[in-house]
């Protein structure tokens, strides 16, 4: 499928609002529940026997699980920007974690507001340059969003030092809170308050948890629960801190498990509130990740690697949705989806109009036909591009290199084009991700024609974006550049002290 045909498919997918098929039903409320740095296989319904997510599982039991859902990037900011706009990061000019002052004439809340929706963002933002917060892109209400990429702590007063400082991320929570307060519970409170205030009219809630991004943390009750669970299974209790498993297996990080369970408990509070207000059947709820999990704290087995990686563990993520008028309970689909699909899907479901100029830029398509029929296929390739900044590249641990690459998935096939850098030469890797989900068997040398065909498609796609092939500068990733970056980083840290 070429780019022109893909744009045509995107336009057609939003031409006939799915809400019409629901007869005289009210326009559906929309709730996005986004977890930060969660692994594809971490929810119980995705296969975990250690982590406990009964409320995410409840969404799955009442809705549909996408087994092949992808993030638009292996880092959070580009992924979140793509979610809010429906546009590929590269089409926004984004090629690394630090976002440029990208241009988009439309964000998720804009068409919904024009269609009579009240909109609210709660929690982590990090979807635009620091100068552009949720209010600046159109959200009516904003709660507990900060300019930083992650929280300093999940515990009151939410600072790294554990002390009330002059500069605070959440001054209102500190002022009105006390020791023992947990940030995720406060996000749940804010979400429930918004739902209660807007129960009688259509609303859009974008709830983005800080869990389970490092520093991970959980209260004593949850910590004890998972340590006891490890002991009952006769497993070694790992030695953990808030940013890594120091000794033992990342399969059994009790801090990460507790943080995930506390997030899930707050999802349960929201689902219960929808039931209590008798609006559950009128509300589309979708739970998603935004990239893979951080490999120092957890993993996405059987997928390879995690956050920052171009392999499946860095890109594939949970996507689980329910909406009873459209989705059959306990559905599963292998149709590939990507976070940019949320934009046209939500506009389709609500009958909201997308500006023509913005529709031409969409990288996502509506998933409503997949909701109705899990066997429905969407024939399209998916693409990725990431050229990390020099500092970012050197700040990762040796187990978390963020390498410059482009990649694509088409059907069962995945091609990765690694750019030349001081750690490796330029090369391609080819995997059959249907037969080889763990990407252990590189078929590039055995299937050169397949590599050639997909490489051309990948290069042709890139030339249609705002990040061209020629924009990659190998000198930026030379050994000398890395050493200069390390020296600069070291000097900067020393000056801060």
Distance, in Å, from the CA atom of 154 to the CA atom of 357, rounded to the nearest integer, reads 41
The answer to which of 149-158, 190-199, 329-338 has the lowest mean pLDDT is 149-158
Q: What is the CATH number of the domain that holds 267?
A: 3.40.720.10
Instruction: Answer yes or no: do 368 and 386 share one domain.
Output: no
Q: Is the pLDDT of residue 25 over 80?
A: no
Q: What is the CATH number of the domain that holds 472?
A: 3.30.1120.10
Report, as an integer, the average pLDDT of 356-383.
96
Q: 469-478, pLDDT tens digit by residue?
A: 989 999 988 8
Instruction: Answer yes or no: do 337 and 234 share one domain.
Output: yes
Instruction: Answer yes or no: do 360 and 419 share one domain.
Output: no
Q: Is residue 443 part of a domain?
A: yes
Q: Grade residue 21 by pLDDT with cuts at 50, 70 and 90.
A: very low
Q: Grade residue 12 by pLDDT with cuts at 50, 70 and 90.
A: very low
Distance, in Å, from the CA atom of 447 to the CA atom of 450, rounded to the nearest integer, reads 5
Q: Grade residue 487 by pLDDT with cuts at 50, 70 and 90.
A: confident
The answer to which of 127-131, 218-222, 467-471 has the lowest mean pLDDT is 127-131
Instruction: Answer yes or no: do 188 and 235 share one domain.
Output: yes
Q: Which domain holds residue 347?
A: 3-372
Position 22 scores a pLDDT of 43
Q: Which residues contact 414 (CB under 8 A, 6 or more apart)?
A: 312, 407, 408, 430, 431, 432, 433, 439
Position 391 scores a pLDDT of 61
**Which of 372, 403, 426 is at the close of a domain?**
372
Q: Is residue 338 part of a domain?
A: yes
Q: Is the pLDDT of residue 394 over 70?
A: no
Q: Which residue has the tokens 């808030």?
A: 242
Q: How many domains is the chain partitioned into structurally?
A: 2
Instruction: Answer yes or no: do 348 and 386 share one domain.
Output: no
Q: Is the pLDDT of residue 18 over 70?
A: no
Q: Is residue 377 part of a domain?
A: no
Q: Is residue 368 part of a domain?
A: yes
Instruction: Answer yes or no: do 325 and 204 share one domain.
Output: yes
Q: Which residues contact 494 (CB under 8 A, 6 or more apart)?
A: none
Q: Which residues contact 496 (CB under 8 A, 6 or more apart)?
A: none
Identify the helix (H) or strand (E) that includes residue 284.
strand 283-288
Q: Grade residue 4 by pLDDT with cuts at 50, 70 and 90.
A: very low
Instruction: Answer yes or no: do 315 and 406 share one domain.
Output: no
**Which of 320, 346, 372 is at the close of a domain?**
372
Distance, in Å, from the CA atom of 407 to the CA atom of 166, rounded to the nearest integer, reads 45
Chain-centre distance for alpha carbon 466: 22
The answer to which of 26-40, 84-98, 310-324 has the lowest mean pLDDT is 84-98
Q: Is the pLDDT of residue 24 over 60?
A: no
Distance, in Å, from the CA atom of 79 to the CA atom of 36, rounded to the nearest integer, reads 11
Q: What percent of the chain has pLDDT over 70?
A: 92
Q: Grade residue 105 by pLDDT with cuts at 50, 70 and 90.
A: confident
**Which of 372, 391, 424 is at the close of a domain?**
372
Q: Is residue 148 part of a domain?
A: yes
Q: Is residue 403 part of a domain?
A: yes
Instruction: Answer yes or no: do 338 and 288 share one domain.
Output: yes
Q: Is residue 174 part of a domain?
A: yes
Instruction: Answer yes or no: do 428 and 281 share one domain.
Output: no
Cα-trace Rg, the chain: 22
SS3 labels along 390-450:
HHHHHHCCCCCCCCCEEEEEECCEEEEEECCECCECCEEEEEECCCCCCCCCCCCCCCHHH
Instruction: Answer yes or no: do 64 and 151 share one domain.
Output: yes
State the CB neighbour count (10 A cutoff) for residue 356. 8
Position 13 scores a pLDDT of 45
Instruction: Answer yes or no: do 392 and 249 share one domain.
Output: no
Instruction: Answer yes or no: do 58 and 104 share one domain.
Output: yes
Bond before 347 cis per omega within 30 degrees: no
Q: Is the pLDDT of residue 232 over 60?
A: yes
């Amino acid at each position: 499928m070429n780019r022109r045909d893909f744009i045509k498919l995107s336009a057609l997918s939003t031409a006939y609002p799915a809400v019409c098929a629901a007869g005289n039903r009210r326009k559906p409320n929309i709730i996005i529940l986004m977890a930060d740095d969660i692994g594809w296989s971490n929810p119980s319904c995705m296969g975990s026997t250690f982590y406990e997510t009964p409320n995410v599982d409840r969404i799955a039991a009442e809705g549909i699980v996408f087994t092949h859902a992808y993030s638009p990037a292996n880092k959070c900011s580009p992924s979140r920007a793509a979610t809010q706009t429906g546009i590929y990061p590269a089409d926004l000019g984004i090629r690394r974690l630090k976002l440029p002052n990208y241009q988009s004439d439309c964000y998720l809340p804009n068409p919904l507001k024009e269609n009579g929706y009240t909109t609210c963002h709660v929690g982590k933002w990090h979807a635009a340059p620091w100068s552009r917060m949720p209010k600046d892109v159109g959200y009516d209400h904003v709660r507990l969003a900060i300019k930083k990429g992650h929280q300093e702590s999940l515990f009151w007063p939410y600072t790294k030092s554990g002390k009330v400082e002059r500069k605070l991320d959440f001054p209102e929570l500190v002022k009105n809170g006390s020791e023992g307060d947990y940030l995720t519970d406060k996000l749940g409170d804010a979400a429930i308050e918004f739902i209660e205030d807007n129960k009688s009219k259509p609303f859009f809630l974008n709830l983005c948890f800080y869990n389970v991004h490092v520093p991970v943390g959980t209260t004593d009750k949850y910590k004890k629960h998972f340590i006891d669970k490890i002991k009952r299974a006769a497993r070694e209790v790992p030695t953990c801190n808030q940013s890594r498993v120091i000794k033992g297996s990342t399969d059994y990080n009790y801090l990460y498990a507790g943080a995930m369970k506390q997030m899930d408990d707050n999802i349960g509070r929201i689902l219960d509130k929808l039931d209590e207000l008798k609006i559950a059947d009128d509300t589309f709820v979708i739970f998603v990740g935004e990239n893979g999990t951080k490999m120092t704290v957890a993993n996405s087995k059987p997928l390879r690697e995690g956050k920052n990686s171009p392999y499946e563990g860095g890109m594939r993520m949970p996507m689980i949705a329910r909406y009873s008028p459209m989705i059959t309970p306990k559905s599963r689909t292998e149709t590939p989806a990507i976070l940019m699909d949320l934009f046209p899907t939500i506009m389709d479901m609500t009958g909201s109009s997308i500006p023509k100029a913005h529709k031409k830029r969409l990288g996502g398509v509506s998933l409503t036909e997949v909701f109705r029929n899990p066997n429905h296929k969407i024939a399209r390739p998916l693409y990725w591009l990431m050229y990390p900044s020099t500092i970012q590249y050197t700040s990762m641990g040796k187990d978390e290199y963020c390498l410059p690459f482009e990649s694509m998935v088409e059907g069962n096939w995945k091609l990765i084009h690694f750019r030349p850098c001081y750690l490796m030469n330029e090369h391609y890797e080819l995997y059959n991700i249907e037969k080889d989900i763990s990407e252990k068997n590189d078929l590039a040398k055995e299937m050169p024609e397949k590599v050639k065909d997909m490489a051309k498609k990948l290069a042709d796609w890139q030339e249609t974006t705002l990040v061209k092939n020629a924009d990659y500068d190998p000198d930026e990733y030379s050994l000398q550049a890395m050493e200069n970056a390390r020296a600069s980083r070291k000097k900067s840290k020393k000056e801060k002290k």
